[in-house]
Amino acid sequence: MAQACTRVVYLGADGDVITARSMDWKVDVGTNLWVFPRGMARSGEAGPNSIKWTSKYGSVVASGYDISTTDGMNEAGLSANLLWLVESGYPTLDKSKPGLTIAAWAQYVLDNFATVQEAVDALRREPFTVVTDNVPGENRLATLHLSMSDASGDSAIVEYIGGKQVIHHDRKYQVMTNSPIFEEQLALNEYWKHIGGVVFLPGTNRSADRFARASFYINAIPKSQDPVHALASVFSVIRNASVPFGITTPDEPNISSTRWRTVADHRRKLYFFESALTPNTFWVDLKKLDFSPRAAVLKLDLGEDQRNVFAGEVAKDFKPSKPFQFLGLPASGD
């Protein structure tokens, strides 16, 4: 079972920035939406030597199996997305620095930073060691890379290759898919740029082909000043890079059905969610949420296969809930 996803950033008129992503997975990924306030005490959940922090920013996130943050946007307009990268190789956890479970990697970014630049500056200092764990229900490690985008249109991709952190930081890095590593994705995309997307684009569900299509379309769609048009265009691009529901390809481990899509409107602070199995797209207006330190953690129960139906703006539909526990190592180090 493999996860394959696409992430794309739209740079529109008058500083408009919208980030979209698809979540492709062979089984129900157990996703719900959560609201986390400021002031939450966090642990890296990596055994006795875990990084500790208190959230500076509130966020709305989409969980994976309710044991990890896979996607989300914080109240400052910073977005974080985790996608599968089978080539990932993480450093060995030792006593030289505290650990952070990969399940909380995206949440660490959303909790602590307002901009991509802030996040990159902090991550370059490598304040933690990322610790991976088995995918729930499977005998294999989660191998992920992280993308970030903010309200200014800045972007960064963070990968661990051969045990070393690699950061690609530039607003031109609008697209990320899965294999190969990001540096090689950029090289493959140069090939398609020379052919020209109007003439021919690769049409398969393979990661490199989705990268080429998303890269072409995200810059080919009109930069409308009408937010309804802009959002519609971005949704159409991420749908174009999605994998039809029910399709899996045994010989291509990075191809799975698209289960859901999110679209983060950074300037208007709107977070849209679309399940492959429901008729409606709905959204959360972050401006309607209470992120103050004493506010409750809230959950929107999306149901099995994200089949619960919602429509329009849903801030009122979230219910107070105990926060989920990030999957990690026992505190005792056993």
Nearest to 211 by CA among 183, 157, 181, 175: 175
- pTM listed for this prediction: 0.90
pLDDT range class, residue 2, cuts 50, 70, 90? very low
As annotated, the active-site residues are 5
Burial environment of residue 161 by CB neighbours within 10 A (0 to 12, 13 to 18, 19 or more): middle
* Least confident among 74-88, 171-185, 276-290: 171-185
Tell me the pLDDT band of 1, cut-offs 50, 70 and 90: very low
What is the pairing mode between strands 129-131 and 144-149?
Answer: unpaired
pLDDT band at 134 (very low <50, low <70, confident <90, very high): low
290: which 2 tokens?
Answer: 């209470």
Query: DSSP characters for 14-72?
Result: GG-EEEEEEEE-SS-----EEEE-TT-EEE--BSSSB-EEE-SS-EEEEEETTTEEEEE
The pLDDT, as a whole number, for residue 208 is 77
- Tell me how far apart the alpha carbons of residues 223 and 226 are, in angstroms, rounded to a whole number: 9
Sign of the alpha-carbon torsion through 239, 76, 286, 42: positive
- Measured distance CA(40)–CA(298) in Å, rounded: 13
pLDDT digits (tens, 9 = 90+) for 120-133: 999 999 999 998 87
Average pLDDT in the chain? 88
The confidence band for 282, taking pLDDT boundaries of 50, 70 and 90, is very high
pLDDT value for 69? 96
Q: Quick one: pLDDT band at residue 206, thresholds 50, 70, 90? A: confident
pLDDT at 17: 97
DSSP 198-255: TT----SSSHHHHHHHHHHHHHHS---SSHHHHHHHHHHHHHHTS--TT---TT-TT-
Peptide bond connecting 180 to the previous residue in cis, omega within 30 degrees of 0: yes
Q: Which of 332, 317, 228 is nearest to 34 (CA)?
A: 317
Q: What is the pLDDT of residue 331?
A: 62
104-121 pLDDT, tens digit per residue, is: 999 999 999 999 999 999
**3-state DSSP percent of the chain in helix, strand and coil, to 5:** 20, 30, 45
Is the confidence at residue 140, as pLDDT, over 80? no
Quick one: pLDDT band at residue 4, thresholds 50, 70, 90? low
Tokens representing 19?
A: 């980030």
Q: Which residues contact 184 (CB under 8 A, 6 or more apart)?
A: none
Tokens of 131: 């610790």
302 contacts: CB under 8 Å, gap ≥ 6: 31, 32, 33, 273, 275, 308
pLDDT of 287 > 60? The answer is yes
- Residue 177's pLDDT is what? 82
* pLDDT for res 281: 95
What percent of the chain shows pLDDT beyond 90? 62
Range picked from 124-128, 203-207, 217-221, 256-260 for highest mean pLDDT: 124-128
DSSP tally for the chain: helices H, then strands E? 5, 20
